[in-house]
Amino acid sequence: MRHASADACLPGIRAPQNHNAALYGPRKNDWRQQIMQLEGKSVFGGIAIGKLSVYNKKDNQVKRRKVEDVAAEETRFSEAREAAKEQLKGLYEKALKEVGEVNAAIFEVHQMMLDDLDYVESIINMIRTQEVNAEFAVAVTGDNFSKMFAAMDDDYMRERAADVKDISNRVIAVLQGTGQGQITGEEPVILLADDLAPSETVQLDKSLVLSFVTRHGSTNSHTAILARTMNIPALIGVDYPETFQTAAQEEKSLDGAFGIVDGYQGILYVDPDEETIAKYRKIKDEDEDKKRLLQELKGKENVTLDGKKINLYANIGGVADVANVLANDAGGIGLFRSEFLYLESEDYPGEETQFAAYKTVAENMAGKKVIIRTLDIGADKQVDYFQMEKEENPAMGYRAIRICLDRREIFKTQLRAIYRASHFGTISIMFPMIISLQEVKEIKEIVAQVKAELENEGIPYKDCELGIMIETPAAVMISDVLAKEVDFFSIGTNDLTQYTLAIDRQNPKLDNIYDSHHEAVLRMLQMVVDNGHAGGCWVGICGELGADTTLTETFLRMGFDELSVSPSMVLKVRDKIRNADLSKN
């Protein structure tokens, strides 16, 4: 299997050649050594130095408990409610800076809901009359109010059902001291977890994450993709213990210990000595120097030495990621993973919620292209409220466009929100998991219906480019036909590789044979470019392979019009483009 170069920071990365090899000693898994070293597999290179924080998934299960001191229990609830409000104030201020007033407003709504007299009095009354613990009273009241809102006819009020659950869980988390499954404290940490689902990663305060280290997962998991988006080192397959012995032979919890993540060699150091810390700080400083040199590429064109130009865009998973897109000087957004709006919600996000998110991104990009991928739920991205049956092979099952064409009201709600937001910027729409011409025709019929509805209602919108993701061998083989129906192709190399090679990309046992450089994959890429151009489409890549700088020149020679990569990779890919000379063989 071939791997990317060190500069690409992709799976299989090694220590950069100009780093002192002497800094990397033998790997150990002996917990009794003075410096505990745990080996894993790197999914993104780099160095992280800081405290370790073990992420414990909390479902806030609550048991009924009789209390003797009712007044004390009321005080516990009041203090927890105030603490929850303070948390929400902090989240509002942070969101205001990152995603704007419209998207931050939800945290103000939650603060007001915590002051609702009916809600508060219901909890206090239950504590007094039933002599139960505050957690139980909050949980029962939250469930009752949530069901009440969910049964209402008004869309806005129905959306409040999820909000009541959220504020109740927040208060319960404070009462239980669990932090609601979030990172506690204000100091950035190296996050250790068994694994992280997409729904969990989107809710993390990413400003507090220095690195991801997980026991499970694969090099193509969403945690790995998130690490590359955030430009932070990440390791998988690290079998870390709950406790360890210090050099002084003291038993100590791993949570809160000092650590170093070497994302080049795939090592986690626990409780390192001063000499090791100094060595890794030197490597980290060298990495920062390289980043500063790349900053000089901002504002430069994505053009080869012989004059070949290409569009270089960025992939995002939410509104907050736009800041990284702009900071790294991407020419647009080539993939907005809209499903994260669904993953971070406890119920179907309504049209207004989606419209606000899409509008914010479009406005912040100030006319630069924003390509929104429609809902791609299913496979490894499950959402409880969709109530989908368990499947033996979800990667090839009920997912993505198949759900949208089956549950059309969900699809139309999203399309309405996207078209409404198009009035505020330059938006294109692409549809995932296409396998047939019939699907494309059905999509276009639904799009026409949505546009007609908006026109009848007097709601302004712009025409959007319509494209499809090429991520199945079926779409590749009929790409000549599909090209006549759409404006562009964007190749999702992650799924295309797994379907072509018959390899589950989430299975860590198969990482060693998951070869995105496989000749079959590369031939398919060339076929899509040729058929797309012949049919009048522009063609891009939005999968992880687009950031593989060992293939940048190959993609240019193939004739790709666009590459969309993690924001952190934009300047690295630009550097490769500007140093390529296609006139040479």
d(CA 429, CA 418): 8
**3-state SS, residue 259:** strand
Strand-pair partners of 251: 245
Q: Contact 138/175 with Cβ under 8 angstroms?
A: yes
* Catalytic one of 9, 404, 464, 542: 542
- 34 DSSP 8-state letter: S
d(CA 109, CA 375): 26
CA–centroid distance for 182 within its chain:
16
Tokens of 14: 């090694």
Burial category of 149 from C-beta neighbours within 10 Å (exposed 0-12, middle 13-18, buried 19 and up):
buried
* Sheet architecture: strand order including 189-193: 36-39, 267-270, 258-262, 47-54, 189-193, 209-214, 234-236, 41-44
* Catalytic one of 9, 19, 110, 222: 222
Other beta carbons within 10 angstroms of residue 47's beta carbon come to 24
Rounded to 5°, angle at Cα 386 from 388 and 148 = 130
Element (H, E) at 448: helix 437-456
- 392 DSSP 8-state letter: S
The question of whether 464 is a catalytic residue gets the answer no
d(CA 58, CA 293): 42
d(CA 186, CA 145): 32
Other beta carbons within 10 angstroms of residue 328's beta carbon come to 23
**First-to-last C-alpha distance (Å) of the chain:** 25
Question: Residues for the chain: how many in total?
Answer: 585
Alpha helices (H) in 36-154, listed in sequence order: 70-114, 117-130, 134-150
Burial category of 512 from C-beta neighbours within 10 Å (exposed 0-12, middle 13-18, buried 19 and up):
exposed
SS3 track for 52-73: EEECCCCCCCCCCCECCCHHHH
Alpha helices (H) in 371-407, listed in sequence order: 401-406
In degrees and rounded to multiples of 5, residue 66 shows phi and psi of -80, 135
The question of whether 19 is a catalytic residue gets the answer no
d(CA 229, CA 226): 5
Q: Cα Rg for the chain, rounded, in angstroms? A: 25
Active site residue ranges: 222, 542
